[in-house]
Structures are given as structure tokens and as C-alpha cells.
A and B are shown apart, each in its own frame.
Chain A
Amino acid sequence: MPNRIVSSIQNIGHRVIESVWRLGVASRFFILVLLKSGTSLRRFNLVIRELYFTGVLSLIIIVVSGLFVGMVLGLQGYETLQKYGSESAVGTLVALSLVRELGPVVAALLFASRAGSAITAEIGLMKATEQLAAMGMMAVDPIARVVAPRFWAGVISMPFLAAIFSVMGVFGGYLVTVVFIGVDEGSYWSQMQSAVDFRFDILNGFIKSCFFGVAVTAIAVFEGYDAPPTAEGVSGATTRTVVTSSLVILGLDFILTAFMFRGVS
């Protein structure tokens, strides 16, 4: 009996040590990517190629979901606000929820599942087919040549995608409430403009999306580079990328919101 207790405590300890060890490896890998990103900034063509795959190809899903999220926000906001006779505030509701929260967060979640998983699968498969090892044999550093350009492309494209998402959402809200339902156009824009502040709302939303971009792509490239070089390993790593980065986005969003909008310091 005592043996079983000891072994279950050992089990807990083993898991804790394992996860701390993994976090340490991930942090060292992250610093290594930052140190070796000089090459990708000098040869910017590598980053442009990855920008096409992570940024441009994510554009469709970001534009469509931004539009629909804004339309739903406008519809639901109108339904609730008209009970209190303040349906002119629907522009404020749509813009503030998009710029502060939904824009950065939903765009980052979509980005994690659209681009993050692709990055992990690509790097993982390169490792499984020993392309990374072959690069190492040719004295080409795989971190500088493969990982760093993907990382920087993700970091650059994330704030743009979040901004496009917010703009499409505001436009979607405009389409539903002003064009279809018939809220006054002037009050839609003017109430929005008087409530949304540049530094407090838009700049903070932008900073949030930059944080999310770094988090998602760092997780994606690490999971890909760390994947066991088997078909099963690559698929597991891709799943882990989506799950971990979604959880990290939501947790990070709570922390950033607490610091930015509640004045916790």
C-alpha cells in the first residue's frame, strides 16, 4: 500500500518536472530563434515568402469571420439595446468589443488554427523526412533558414490581420444595423467615435495582437521543431499547437486586459 502512494506522488513529481523542463527547452529555443533571426532580416525574401503563406492565405477566413462576427454583434446588440431605447449606442458596442477584445482574440484563434498548425506540420514534416538534418550537414543552420523566417512572418502578419478583422466587423455591424434595420447612420458613427479612444482602445488592441502574434508563432515553430519524427508525432504536435496556443491566447488576453483596462499595476 505505501508503495502505491509513493509511486503516485512520484508520478505527480515526474509530470511537474517534465512540464517545467519542457518550458525551459521552449524558452531556450525561443531565445535561440531571436538570436539567429539576423539572417532572415538580412535575406528578407525568405520572410516575404512566409508572409504569403501565413498572412495572405489567412486573409479570406479573417475577412469573412470578421464580417460575420460584426454582423452578429450588431444584430444582438440592437436586440438588447432597443429594449432601453438606446439603439443608437450599437455602434459603440460593436466598435469597442471588436477593437478591445474580439478583434485581437478571435483573429489570433483563427490565425493559430489556420497558420500556426500549418507552420507546425511543415516544420515537423521537414524534421521527419530529415530535411533539417540534411541542412545541418550542408552547414545551413535550420533555425536561421527555416524557423526564424516563419516566426517573423507570423509576428508581422498578426497585427495586420487583427486590424483587418476589426475593420470588417465594424463594417458588418454597419451593414446590419444601419442598412438593414435602419439605425441612424450619423449616430452609429458619431457615438462610436466619441466612445473609442485612440490610445486607450486602438493602441492597446494593437499591442494585444502583437503579443498574440509572438505567442502563437513561437508555440507553432517550437512544436514543429520538437515534434517526434514520425507521422503520429507530427499530427500530435499539430494538435498541441492549436490547443496550447488557443489556451495561451485566452489566458494572455485576461492578463493583458487586467493590466490595460483596469489599471492594475
Chain B
Amino acid sequence: MQRTTMDLWVGLFVIIGIVALMVLSLKVGNLNVYNPSQSYVITGNFENIGGLKVRAPVKGAGVVVGRVTDIQFSTQTYDAVVKMSLDSRFTFPKDTFASILTSGLLGEQYIGLAAGGDDVMLKDGDKVMKTNSAMVLEELIGRFLFDKAAKDDSL
């Protein structure tokens, strides 16, 4: 085979390979939405995180704005300290409400941020004061049964 034809094929092969890698990172991995190099970290204390896991998404109005980077148990307050890394393009007011929500009926858990009305914005290392724990099915059923029993008594 001619040298030049071989060079052409190898060049095509390498270009196809690089294009495949680009498609993987841009189209499949959606690299441009969340760039961890420009981000800031905030923490929040939750009474119960349910099934929240590290790398779970942090969403504002349903849009992914960051990810959970670390979950620790605090022996001082006896609750869970969740670290979230947010994209620095998205800033939230200081009185933002963070709650652990579930996507769908059986879906994964994520943190939903609901913006407050404060003029001061959250900075790197800040703490979200208002948090809402995950819904735990047993607690929910327990509360329902308790309510029902109280109603039955009053009749």
C-alpha cells in the first residue's frame, strides 16, 4: 500500500477517534453545563438526609446548578452536614431554603434550592440556615396513623 494512502487512513482514524471523544464529553456527558473548575462550596445541616448520596444533583427550580460533594455526621449537633459545590454562575440569596426532594416516586434524591429575598448572596464556605429534611416513608406513615388515631378519639 502507498505511504500516502496509509497516512490518510490513519489520519482519518485519529480524527474519528477524537470526534468520538468530543461527542462523548459534549453530547453524552454534557460538559458545558456544569464546570467544576469555577464553583463555590456551601454547607447545610440536615436533620435527616434520607437516601441522599455524594454526587447527587443540587437543583434550583429543577435546573442542575451543582452537586453534593461531601456528607458528614456532626457529633456536636447530631445531624448531617452536607457540602454542596455550586456553579459560580448561579448565586443564591442568603436566606435560600434547601430541602431534600425526590425525583419521581422511586427516583433519586436531590437537594432543591428555593431562593429567598435577601440582598446578600451566599459566598464560598457559607452555610444555608434554612433546611428541610428528607421525607422518610416510615415517619410519614407514623404521622398519618397518629393523626387518624387522634381523630378517632375525638369522635
The contact of A160 among B9, B17, B104, by CB within 8 Å, is B17
B28 near A202: Cβ-Cβ < 8 Å:
yes
Q: Does B137 contact A (CB under 8 A)?
A: no
> Quick one: which of A52-104 are within 8 Å of B by CB?
52, 55-56, 59, 84, 86, 95, 99
A10 CB to nearest B CB, Å: 51
B24 near A51: Cβ-Cβ < 8 Å:
no
How many pairs of residues, A versus B, come closer than 8 Å at their CB atoms?
Answer: 82
Once A55-B13, A160-B13, A160-B16 are accepted as A-B contacts, the answer to whether A193 and B6 lie under 8 Å apart by CB is no
The residue in chain A whose Cβ has the minimal distance to the Cβ of B106 is A84
> Quick one: which of B58-92 are within 8 Å of A by CB?
64
A194 CB to nearest B CB, Å: 6
Binding-face segment, B29-37, B40-48, B118-126, B127-135: B29-37
Q: Which residues of B contact A (CB under 8 A)?
A: 1, 3, 6-7, 9-10, 12-14, 16-18, 20-21, 23-25, 27-31, 33, 36, 55, 57, 64, 104, 106
The answer for the CA separation of A159 and B20 in the assembled complex, in Å, is 10
A interface bracket (residues with beta carbon within 8 Å of B) = 20 to 34
A99 near B13: Cβ-Cβ < 8 Å:
no
| Residues on the A chain within 8 Å of B55, using CB | 197, 200
A167 near B64: Cβ-Cβ < 8 Å:
no
The residue in chain B whose Cβ has the minimal distance to the Cβ of A91 is B28
B6 near A163: Cβ-Cβ < 8 Å:
no
Chain A 189-232 near chain B by CB (<8 Å), digits 1 or 0 = 10011101111111000100000000000000000000000000
The contact of B17 among A84, A86, A161, A198, by CB within 8 Å, is A161
| Residues on the B chain within 8 Å of A193, using CB | 27-30, 33
A55 near B10: Cβ-Cβ < 8 Å:
yes
